[in-house]
A and B are shown apart, each in its own frame.
Chain A
Amino acid sequence: EAGVAQSPRYKIIEKRQSVAFWCNPISGHATLYWYQQILGQGPKLLIQFQNNGVVDDSQLPKDRFSAERLKGVDSTLKIQPAKLEDSAVYLCASSSPRIATYEQYFGPGTRLTVT
């Protein structure tokens, strides 16, 4: 079974530029999450999708961040314009209610550096 795929793995941009990240969850996983993890901190949920609907986006800075999961499979997260404080690892995870433990499977992440 293929894991959660993310691209790119690394990205360096200047502040005020825009950037997009892509995630393809494990096949059949209905729930998809985007997390921001700043160095030394735990992952912070940005947005959670159930199929193509948003379950929670309360911590998504909507003035600059956007995310979509149009067909209920893969997803993109966009930042426009980026700020220095957006430097972090962006993790995508997926889960399925068919898994009794409700564990989340994480992708390798995208390390974003904003200069």
Chain B
Amino acid sequence: GQNIDQPTEMTATEGAIVQINCTYQTSGFNGLFWYQQHAGEAPTFLSYNVLDGLEEKGRFSSFLSRSKGYSYLLLKELQMKDSASYLCAVNGGFKTIFGAGTRLFVKA
């Protein structure tokens, strides 16, 4: 079957670094996405990984290991506005499958 696992909730402190993990099992792989979703809003694109390694974009970085079926999203210098759900999604062919999301709470 196809499955994406990520932690349900995480809490971190403003200014700190947090790593959100994602493991996946899909029948195919054309790339892995991270989306941010604030409460009551639509998801917005953060990153896309298709090759192994780390992709850095400002305060956000995303890592992929295809052999391990594993990715993480790294958020540095956390700000209060980073409190949101972070969705891991895998394109396994024609279809993109989303995980349930990790709710991140940033506290002062």
Contact = CB atoms under 8 A, between A and B. Distances in A.
A14 interface: no
Q: How large is the interface on B (under 10, 10 to 19, 20 to 34, 35 or more residues)?
A: 20 to 34
Contact of B95 (A40, A42, A56): A56
B43 A43 contact: yes
Interface in A56-110: 56, 91, 101-109
A105 B96 CA distance: 13
A42 B91 contact: no
A44 interface: yes
A101 B91 CA distance: 11
Contacts of A104: 33, 43, 45, 96
Contact of A42 (B41, B48, B87): B87
A102 B45 CA distance: 10
B43 A106 contact: yes
B12 interface: no
| SS class, residues of chain B in contact with chain A | strand
A103 B48 contact: yes
A55 interface: yes
B91 A102 contact: yes
A91 B99 contact: no
Given A41-B100, A102-B31, A107 B95 contact: no
Interface of A: 33, 35, 40-45, 48, 55-56, 91, 101-109
Interface of B: 4, 30-31, 33, 41-45, 48, 87, 89, 91, 94-101
Given A43-B98, A108-B41, 13 more contacts: A42-B87, A42-B98, A42-B101, A48-B95, A55-B95, A56-B94, A91-B42, A101-B31, A101-B48, A102-B48, A104-B33, A106-B42, A106-B44
